């Protein structure tokens, strides 16, 4: 690990908004972490958590959790949240493959997945965050009828996600293959991460799915 990354990791572990013993929070996010009974919304593969930060600022009535496997990226989001005194956003450094170890059944109200790695090679498809093995885990931790929002620039990942959701027996409520071509879009999908800005600058379309799994 490079020196700067090591320093960021050490600092990350000292932040109060980063969970230190996250398995203990399973089933207790509301009572032990947020200390309220408001909705729990997670952003998966949040990176620097730009999306989760935007949601947490805009919707102080919800509880947010940014989830990513990379400490150096979470450091940036967690530091911003501390500097801005954002108290409704916490961070979890885990592999999403293990998400059911950290959330109890039906503990989560909504999920966002923004610009996940597309894993373009078909032999790596099982790593895509909308593959059936991930959908099965999301179904367990989500409340009945809870929405999952996916934003991506990647046409292959978009089509793949539609197929996986249908095969899994999920319901797609919105599928938009160019959100900015619409006259009006829901505010919750208008926030732009650095990745999204980069894709837009390259003239790529931003695609969106809202789906449920139960």
Ligand X SMILES: C[S@@+](CC[C@H](N)C(=O)[O-])C[C@H]1O[C@@H](n2cnc3c(N)ncnc32)[C@H](O)[C@@H]1O
Please identify every residue annotated as catalytic.
117
Pick one of 18, 22, 64, 73: the residue that binds ligand X (CB under 6 A). 73
Stretch that binds ligand X, among 11-19, 94-102, 136-144, 170-178 (CB under 6 A): 94-102
> Smallest distance from the beta carbon of 44 to ligand X, in angstroms?
7
> Smallest distance from the beta carbon of 17 to ligand X, in angstroms?
17
Pick one of 87, 97, 131, 175: the residue that binds ligand X (CB under 6 A). 97
Site for ligand X in 5-44 (CB under 6 A): none
The closest alpha carbon to 151, from 180, 127, 123, 108, belongs to: 180
How far is Cα 213 from Cα 166, in angstroms, rounded to an integer?
10
The structure tokens listed for 185 are: 């879009």
Beta bridge partners of 42: 65, 111
Could you give the 3-state DSSP secondary structure of residue 188?
Answer: helix
Give the x/- contact pattern for ligand X in 121-160, rule: CB under 6 A.
Answer: ----------------------------------------
> Listing from the earlier edge strand, what are the strands of the sheet with 40-44?
89-93, 63-68, 40-44, 108-114, 142-152, 207-212, 171-176
> Smallest distance from the beta carbon of 169 to ligand X, in angstroms?
23
Told to check if 110 binds ligand X by CB under 6 A, we report no
Told to check if 115 binds ligand X by CB under 6 A, we report yes
Stretch that binds ligand X, among 5-13, 161-169, 188-196, 200-208 (CB under 6 A): 188-196
Question: Quick one: DSSP state of residue 29?
Answer: I
Distances in Å between the Cα of 34 and the Cα atoms of 25, 52, 60, 115 are 11, 15, 12, 27
Contacts with ligand X, residue ranges (CB under 6 A): 45-48, 50, 68-70, 73, 95-97, 114-117, 193-195
């Amino acid at each position: 690990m490079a020196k700067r990354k090591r320093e960021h990791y050490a600092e990350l572990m000292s932040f109060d908004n980063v969970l230190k013993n996250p398995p203990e929070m399973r089933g207790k996010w509301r009572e032990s972490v947020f200390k309220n009974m408001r909705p729990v919304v997670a952003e998966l593969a949040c990176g620097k958590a730009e999306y989760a930060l935007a949601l947490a600022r805009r919707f102080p009535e919800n509880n947010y959790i940014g989830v990513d496997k990379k400490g150096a990226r979470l450091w940036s989001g967690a530091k911003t949240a501390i500097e801005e005194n954002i108290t409704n956003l916490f961070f979890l450094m885990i592999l999403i493959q293990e998400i059911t170890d950290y959330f109890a059944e039906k503990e989560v109200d909504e999920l966002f997945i923004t610009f996940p790695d597309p894993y373009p090679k078909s032999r790596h498809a099982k790593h895509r965050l909308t593959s059936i093995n991930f959908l099965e885990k999301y179904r367990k931790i989500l409340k009945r009828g809870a929405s999952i929002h996916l934003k991506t620039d990647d046409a292959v990942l978009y089509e793949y996600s539609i197929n996986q959701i249908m095969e899994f027996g999920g319901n797609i409520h919105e599928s938009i293959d160019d959100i900015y071509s619409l006259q009006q879009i829901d505010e919750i999908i208008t926030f732009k991460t650095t990745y999204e800005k980069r894709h837009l600058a390259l003239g790529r379309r931003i695609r969106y799915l809202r789906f449920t799994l139960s």
